[in-house]
């Protein structure tokens, strides 16, 4: 009886010890600059609540990546499955570009993300670019999409089959069927006249 109890307790200690080792190993695989609210372990998958990752572009300016949840598989420790993505990229002393997406597959080794579900990149002053899917290279500050994209400026709307955006070069280019709609002064006058008649 005593031997049986010893075996049971021995097995329990081994299992607990292995669980602790797996948890410690999992934490060492997380990026050093990753912060989070809560972390859970299920099998080989780590679930992270409210992850926040701080990185730096090639020009030294920082970016912050926030997500509602993140999942990391120990078999591919550099890859994170993210939901509810918000990214802030500093472009100057007071300026920044925002990037949002419903989901993303982020690779910490290459500093790239495959974005999906209503991808949007915009700033507070001049532009708003939306697409269904895109790839973001955070180091280079470049985004590309082979899906239909819509760019909205103050009085200009551009739609295209694909788009590329480079923050460093301050360049946006479009390919495929490109359509541009420009609101002119005559259109504004016509709209004002219609509003006045109503």
pLDDT per position as a tens digit, 13-61: 444 444 444 444 444 444 545 655 567 777 788 888 988 888 888 878 8
User: Is 51 in contact with 80 (CB distance < 8 Å)?
Assistant: yes
Q: Is residue 70 part of a domain?
A: yes
Q: Does the pLDDT of residue 68 top 90, yes or no?
A: yes
What is the count of structural domains for the chain? Answer: 1
Cα dist from 101 to 47, 48, 83, 119, whole Å: 19, 18, 8, 4
Answer with the residue of higher pLDDT: 186 or 50. Answer: 50
Full residue range of the structural domain in which residue 127 is found = 31-140
Extended beta strands in 50-192, E state: 52-56, 62-73, 76-90, 96-107, 112-122, 128-137, 142-145, 149-152, 156-160, 162-166, 171-175, 179-182
User: What pLDDT, in 10s, does the model give residues 158-180?
Assistant: 999 999 988 777 788 999 999 99
What is residue 82's predicted lDDT score, i.e. its pLDDT?
95
Q: Is residue 197 part of a domain?
A: no
Cα dist from 65 to 13, 23, 93, 104, 158, whole Å: 39, 24, 19, 11, 28
pLDDT band at 138 (very low <50, low <70, confident <90, very high): confident
Q: Is residue 179 part of a domain?
A: no
Q: Is residue 182 part of a domain?
A: no
Q: Is residue 56 part of a domain?
A: yes
CATH number at residue 110: 2.60.450.10
Q: Is residue 196 part of a domain?
A: no
Mean pLDDT of the region 128-154:
92
Q: What 3-state DSSP class applies to 195?
A: helix
Q: Is residue 152 part of a domain?
A: no
Q: Is residue 82 part of a domain?
A: yes
Q: Does the pLDDT of residue 106 top 80, yes or no?
A: yes
């Amino acid at each position: 009886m005593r031997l049986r109890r010893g075996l049971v307790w021995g097995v329990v200690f081994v299992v607990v010890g292995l669980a602790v080792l797996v948890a410690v190993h999992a934490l060492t695989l997380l990026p050093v600059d990753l912060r989070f609210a809560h972390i859970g372990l299920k099998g080989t998958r780590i679930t992270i609540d409210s992850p926040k990752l701080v990185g730096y572009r090639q020009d030294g300016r920082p970016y912050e990546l926030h997500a509602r949840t993140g999942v990391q598989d120990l078999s591919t420790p550099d890859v994170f499955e993210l939901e509810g993505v918000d990214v802030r990229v500093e472009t100057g002393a007071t300026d920044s570009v925002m990037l949002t997406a419903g989901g993303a597959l982020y690779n910490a080794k290459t500093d790239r993300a495959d974005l999906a579900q209503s991808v949007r990149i915009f700033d507070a002053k001049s532009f708003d670019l939306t697409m269904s899917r895109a790839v973001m290279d955070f180091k280079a500050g470049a985004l590309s999409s082979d899906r239909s994209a819509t760019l909205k400026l103050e009085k200009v709307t551009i739609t295209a089959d694909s788009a590329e955006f480079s923050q460093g070069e301050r360049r946006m280019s479009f390919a495929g069927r490109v359509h541009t709609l420009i609101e002119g002064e005559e259109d504004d006058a016509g709209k004002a006249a219609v509003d006045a008649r109503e």
